Amino acid sequence: MQVDLLIQARWIIPVEPESVIHENSSLVVDEGKIVDLLPTEQAILKYQARSVEILDQHALIPGLINCHTHAAMSLLRGIADDLQLMDWLQNHIWPAEQKWVSEAFVRDGTDLAIAEMLRCGTTCFNDMYFFPEITAQQAMQHGMRANVGLIVFDFPTVWAENADAYLTKGLALHEQLRHETLISTSFAPHAPYTVSDGPLRNVITYADEMNLTVHMHLHETAHEVDEQKGKNGQTPLRRLHDLGLLTPSFIAVHMTQLSAEDIRIYAETGGHIVHCPESNLKLASGFCPVAQCLAAGINVALGTDGAASNNDLDMLSEMRTAALLGKGVAGDASAVSAMTALQMATINGAKALGLDGEIGSMTIGKAADVVAIDLSELETQPMFNPLAQIVYAASRHQVTDVWVAGKQLLKKRKLTSFDLPALKQKIKLWQERLQERPGD
C-alpha cells in the first residue's frame, strides 16, 4: 500500500492509550492523517512510502499544544522584567503597546513566536492579542495550527474603540476563517477586571449560538480577587458563574488563587484550566493547585503565556516546571507525573480547545501533528525511560523534526518556511524602536 510518509522511530509515545510506549515502531502518514502505528519490521513490509524518515535515536510525541499565548508579545521579551503583574502591565507593557502595536508589530512578533514554538516542538497555539486576523494570516502562511482569540475589552485600543466594535470585528473574522483547516477561533474577553457584565453576556450568547469556546484570564493574582470582592463581595469566579459564563466551553487561564470551594464549583461547570507555571512564578502571581484540580476532575492544560512574562515559549521547559511545581505545591512527589505533564501539554490542551478529535494524541485518524526528540544526547543518557527523560531532562534543542498535518515544518533543526536572516533583521529593527525614549 502506497502512503505519503513513514516515520521510523526508536520510541513512539502516542499519549492515548495512557502510559503506552512503542519501541522500534513506525508512524504511517497519508494525506496529512495518521493511518497506522505498528512495529517497523511490519511497516516496511506493508507500506511503500514516498518519503521515509529514519529516526532510530528519537522519540516521537504528539505535537505540543501551547494553550495560552500572546504571540506578538515576543517582541517585548525582556523589556520589563522582575516586576509584579499590575506594575508590569500598567506602567510598562500597556504603554509600550499603546505606542507600538500595529499590524506590522503583530506580523513580525507572531513570526518570531511561531519560529520559536516550532523549534520547541509546539504545533498548535491558542492566542489572545490585538489584530487576530494578522496572527491567523501568519499561522496559515507557515503551516502552523492556531486557535485565534477574538479579543474583547471595555476600553478602546488600536484594534477597536469599544466592546461592541471588538465583538463585531471578531464575528466577521470568525466568518472569514471558519473554513480554514488549521485555524479555529475562540471568544477572548481579556479578564474580569477589563470586561464588564454587558459585553460578557453578549459573549455568552454568541458563543452558545456559534459553539465556540471562551478563553479568559481568571484568578491570576490575589489583587484581582481582592479587588472584585471589594466591589461586590464576590470573587471573579463567582461573578462569572452567576453570569452563566462558566460552562464546558470555558477556558480559565492561570487560576492561581483557588479555595477548595472554588475548585468544587468550577469542577461542576465542566470548564477547563490552562496552567502557566513559569509566567506565574516570574510575576509572583501564585500557584495553581494542579493536583487538587485534576483530582476534582477538572481538565488542566498547559501554556507559556507571552514571552514578555515568561520569557520563552518553550513547552518542554513548561512541562518540567509544571511537574516539579505540582509536586511541591501538593507536598506529594507522585503528584503531576511525567505522563500527566505530557497529557497537559497535548491531549488536555486539545480537549480544552474542542480539538481532541483532531489533535492531541497519535491515534489513527487524527492529524499527523508530530514531534521528534533526539534522546541520544549526553544530557538524556543513560536511557531507562524515554517519557521521564523528555519531561525531566530533555531540552528544546533536542527537538529535531516537526510535522503539522503531515507537512514538515522543522527538518533536522531547520525551519522550512522561514528566512531566518530576514526575520532576525526585522527583530533587530523592532529592538531599536522599542529602546527609543521620549524625545528620541
> What are the tens digits of pLDDT across the range 208-258?
999 999 999 999 999 999 999 999 899 999 999 999 999 999 999 999 999
406 backbone φψ class: left, alpha, beta (φ>0; ψ -120 to 50) = left
Distance CA 302, CA 343 (A): 9
How does residue 437 score in pLDDT terms, banded at 50, 70 and 90?
A: low
Q: What is the pLDDT of residue 435?
A: 87
Decide if pLDDT at 120 tops 90.
yes
- Whole-model pTM? 0.97
Q: Would you say 146 and 182 are in contact if contact means Cβ atoms under 8 Å apart?
A: yes
Angle separating helix axes 197-210 and 236-243, nearest 10 degrees: 50
Could you report the per-residue pLDDT of 34-53, keeping only the tens digit for each?
999 999 999 999 999 999 99
Strand partners of residue 428: none
Tens digits of residue pLDDT in 356-405: 999 999 999 999 999 999 999 999 999 999 999 999 999 999 999 999 99
Give 128-187 pLDDT, tens digit per residue.
Answer: 999 999 999 999 999 999 999 999 999 999 999 999 999 999 999 999 999 999 999 999
pLDDT at 85: 83
Q: Which residues make Cβ contacts (< 8 Å) with residue 237, sequence separation at least 6?
A: 218, 219, 246, 252, 258, 262, 265, 266
Q: What are the structural domains of the chain?
A: 2-62+366-415 (2.30.40.10), 64-353 (3.20.20.140)
Comparing CA positions, the residue from 186, 263, 188, 187 lying closest to residue 219 is 263
Helices 236-243 and 260-269: crossing angle in degrees, nearest 10, is 30
**How many Cβ atoms from other residues are within 10 Å of residue 242's Cβ?**
11
List the Cα angle 220/221/225 in 5-degree steps: 100
Give the whole-angstrom CA distance, residue 335 versus residue 342. Answer: 13
CA angle (389 as vertex; 306, 9 as ends), nearest 5 = 100
